[in-house]
Amino acid sequence: MRALIAAFVVSQGDALKTFGNSTGTGWRLTQWRLSRWRSTRWLTVLVGFVAAEAAASTFILPDPNDGLVGEPVALKVTYEDRFSTLAMKYDLGFEELRHANPDVDPWIPGEGARVVLPTQFMLPSGPRDGIVINLPEYRLYYFPKGKGTVMTFPIGIGRTGFQTPAATTKVVAKINNPSWYPTKAHRVEHAEMGDILPTVVPPGPDNPLGDLAIQLTLPGYFLHGTNKPFGVGQRVSHGCVRLYPVDIHSLADAVPIGMQVRIVDAPVKVAWHDGALWMEAHPPLEGEPDMARMTQIINRAIDGKNVTIDWTRAEEMARTSTGVPGPISIQEPMIQPAQQSAALN
């Protein structure tokens, strides 16, 4: 293991903690809620992470009334770094990195550039059960039954014209070393590029399914590995969901046959965190951000609660769609006893 590297900045204003650089081993502050504690105290522990290969992010689930896990981290990158390699190194997707860093060139970030790793996640709405895939987020969440944890993985999804459908389905099989049977659309597309596909592509380095596939009851759709990891986190498939090779194995090892899979299209999510309402916005798969829909989601979340929303900030978050969660409710300033007395007089 390479030597630990020194932190270079801690940004209080945007709640980012920055540790080290992209070439070595860093340390990330992660808050874990300990279910065995009777109080609601939080223990902050140092969790080491090695920037060597992608690996699943697993978090202890927060209280049902809290919807955030993890923390964002920023890195000082080197001249050789690219978003595609950083994404694979830190188990993120290319589009996640690009959206979180709109002012950084994804192909040549530049020596010493500060790159935000979007490693704070807002849990999807609805039951914390089974697999939930949020298409605009390019991310999969898995809630193992009875474990009190959540695993999350970056994913690649269907491109325009071959959209991954929003649906509820189930895991029906796990296939090691699958063969790939190209559809007519695949063969036509490849033929136009001068690449004649066989009827069956056997297991091996040329198989786009990778070495493991999870079959769904949704006909023709799989969660699978890939022989092109740089496509994870992008719209590149003909509808299937792609994971990094190490991630598909982690998921398949954890998920039982029959597990429910919910595929949703939720560019805007809101959740409560530390008494405030937070929002996370991603670019919609088609068209522009829907401000009316965003307003409905926020109003449903507050539902009569005595809370003031910073609508200007919410609209700006929806427009920029960085995917980085942030508070949108306005905290009233605390009045000290002396101030209270003066106010009463």
User: Do 222 and 240 form a contact (C-beta atoms < 8 A)?
Assistant: yes
For residues 197 and 184, what is the distance between their CA atoms, to the nearest angstrom?
A: 10
What is the residue-wise DSSP string for 247-311? HHHHHHHHPPTT-EEEEE--SEEEEEETTEEEEEE---SSSS--HHHHHHHHHHHHTT-S-EE-H
Q: Where are the beta strands (DSSP E) in 86-224?
A: 114-117, 120-122, 130-134, 139-143, 149-154, 157-158, 167-176, 212-216, 222-224
Question: What burial class does residue 137 get, using C-beta atoms within 10 Å of its C-beta: 0-12 exposed, 13-18 middle, 19+ buried?
Answer: buried
Tokens 């993985």 belong to residue: 153
C-alpha distances out from residue 221 to 177, 238, 242, Å: 16, 9, 11
Tokens 């590297």 belong to residue: 5
Q: List the alpha helices (DSSP H) in the chain.
A: 83-89, 94-100, 184-192, 245-254, 291-302, 311-320, 337-344
- Known active-site residue 240: yes
Catalytic site residue from 238, 240, 273, 282? 240
For residues 16 and 333, what is the distance between their CA atoms, to the nearest angstrom?
A: 23
For residues 21 and 344, what is the distance between their CA atoms, to the nearest angstrom?
A: 53
Catalytic site residue from 99, 186, 190, 224? 224
Amino acid at 34: L
The closest of 180, 135, 178 to 282, measured between CA atoms, is: 135
For residues 268 and 300, what is the distance between their CA atoms, to the nearest angstrom?
A: 13
Q: Catalogue the active-site residues.
A: 224, 240
